[in-house]
Every structure is written in C-alpha cells, then in structure tokens.
Amino acid sequence: MDMYDIDAPPVHTKINENGRVGVPAELRDLMGVKPGDAVVLTVSGGVLRVESYRSVIEKIRDSLRPLGKPGVLMSDELIAERREEARREMAEIEKPRSLAMDGEAAKNG
C-alpha cells in the first residue's frame, strides 16, 4: 500500500497566537515529512490541505504519465527533438554557402 493512500483518524489541535498549527509526529510520519521540511498548503471549499512536496510531485507525475510512451523517457524524446532541430538549422545555414560556392566554381570554371 502506498503511503499516500493511508487515512488517519482526525486529530484536534489549535492555531496558536502566531497563526501556526502543530502537526503531530504520527501524522508527519504518515505524510513522510519531518520538522523543517517544506509543505504545500491549499484551501478548497473551506478545507485546509497540507501536502508534502513528494506527494504533490507524485500527483503531477501520475497526471503526466498517460502522455508518455511506455519505456521511453520524455527527456530522451526532448533531446532527440532538439538534436533534429539543430541538424535542420545547420542544413539551412549550409544551403546558402553551398550555393555560393557552386556559383564561384562556375565562374572560375
């Protein structure tokens, strides 16, 4: 079972005078965070949600997974596309040079 699928019973706490909320150790452990870790806070429908960065990144990966090809890294595809683009650009740059050289050769013939 994935740690993000674990539900914990409600925990009651208070907001202190500085506006801070303490997260009990057992909840931090379930979330996979420790004191000092950064978290993401969102509010939706009046509900405050606290998520670890790992959880947020995993959700983003899951949402992007259907866009990729099985067994192929998106980074490899991007690199291949950039190399092909660079090859085409170099071919375009070489084309006028090649034509100019052919014209010079014809003149000097």
**In the predicted model, what is the mean pLDDT of the chain?**
85
* Amino acid at position 98, single letter: S
Confidence band (pLDDT; 50, 70, 90) for 16? very high
Residue 45 DSSP SS3: coil
Query: Residue written as tokens 């052919």?
Result: 102
**Kind plus residue range of the DSSP H or E element containing 27:** helix 25-31
How many other β-carbons are positioned within 10 Å of the β-carbon of residue 4? Answer: 14
- φ, ψ of residue 47 to 5 degrees: the values are -110, 125
What's this model's pTM, rounded to 2 decimal places? 0.53
Q: Do 49 and 41 meet the contact criterion of CB atoms below 8 Å apart?
A: yes
The pLDDT tens digits for 18-50 are 999 999 998 999 899 998 999 999 999 999 999
The pLDDT tens digits for 48-103 are 999 999 989 999 988 988 887 888 888 888 999 999 999 999 988 887 766 666 66
- φ, ψ of residue 93 to 5 degrees: the values are -70, -40
